[in-house]
Amino acid sequence: MSIFEVSKLYDKNNEKELLSILINKNFKSIPHLDNYKLDYSVIKGFLEGILNVLMIDYGRLRIEQTSDLKQMHPYRSAKLYLDNKLAGFIGQVHPGLSKNLDDTYVLELDLGLMLDLKSSKIKYGKLSIYPSTSRDIAMMVKKEVESQSIINIIKRISRKLIKDVTIFDVYEGEHIEEGHKSIAVSITYNSDDKTLSDNEVNELHAQVINDLIKKLNVVIR
């Protein structure tokens, strides 16, 4: 099961627009697989994906474990701070509240705050007149590896020719080694000066894979 909601919260003189996501063990990012394992890393994958879409650097986020959210598990929940401003919370729902729903995980974000911080960081540039090429990589990494780390490593290889990096799937479960997760990433290559040849893209893509293996010990799938 998964529930997504955008709603407004009125608190005294303040109004907040909140994005809430709730998932339990019946949620599957790959529906046809059995024995799907749901844990904290899955809901954290949603957080990383949202930050990526909003073009907010993961390094600006601080995750601070907390036990003062009564509706949340006292040892499996955290408050989220973006540029040191409270931006929401993440974690497992208190077992006393979710006993009929099995393990349930929640992510709640102050969408208004995040959009405000996003808009102040956007930089506009001219669009290339030359065609772009996209390549995908599916890899297996240790669970503690954050999606933003993968994105940063890829972008550092060539900020001039790598125009976009998007995480489009994070999965744990059947056929994935214990303590690991599968991540799929799409990379867009483009030059402002010319049309990149297949050989140029292949060489750059090979360098991306080599750096990921060298720096994060990923296994390409």
Task: Identify whether residues 110 and 43 lie together within a single domain.
Answer: yes
Task: Identify whether residues 32 and 108 lie together within a single domain.
Answer: yes
73 domain-assigned: yes
Longest CA pairwise span in the chain (Å):
60
Task: Identify whether residues 69 and 10 lie together within a single domain.
Answer: yes
Domain that holds residue 197: 133-220
127 domain-assigned: no
Task: Identify whether residues 139 and 99 lie together within a single domain.
Answer: no
Task: Identify whether residues 137 and 115 lie together within a single domain.
Answer: no
Cβ–Cβ contacts within 10 Å for residue 59, how many? 10
The listed range with the strongest mean pLDDT (28-32, 148-152, 173-177, 206-210) is 206-210
Query: Domain with 32 in it: what CATH number?
Result: 3.30.930.10
128 domain-assigned: no
Query: CA separation (Å) from 72 to 13, 25, 75, 110?
Result: 26, 17, 9, 17
101 domain-assigned: yes
Task: Identify whether residues 58 and 141 lie together within a single domain.
Answer: no
Task: Identify whether residues 164 and 62 lie together within a single domain.
Answer: no
Task: Identify whether residues 6 and 115 lie together within a single domain.
Answer: yes
The residue ranking higher by pLDDT, 186 or 124, is 186
| Separation of alpha carbons 63 and 116, rounded Å | 20
> pLDDT tens for residues 96-148?
776 666 678 899 999 989 988 875 545 555 678 899 999 999 999 998 888 87
pTM beyond cutoff 0.85? no
17 domain-assigned: yes
Task: Identify whether residues 109 and 8 lie together within a single domain.
Answer: yes
83 domain-assigned: yes
Task: Identify whether residues 114 and 137 lie together within a single domain.
Answer: no
| Separation of alpha carbons 148 and 166, rounded Å | 10
Task: Identify whether residues 148 and 68 lie together within a single domain.
Answer: no
| Separation of alpha carbons 191 and 144, rounded Å | 33
Task: Identify whether residues 47 and 95 lie together within a single domain.
Answer: yes
Number of domain units in the chain: 2
Task: Name the least confident of 10-14, 47-51, 58-62, 103-107.
Answer: 10-14
Average pLDDT over residues 25-44: 59
Query: Domain with 210 in it: what CATH number?
Result: 3.30.70.380
124 domain-assigned: no
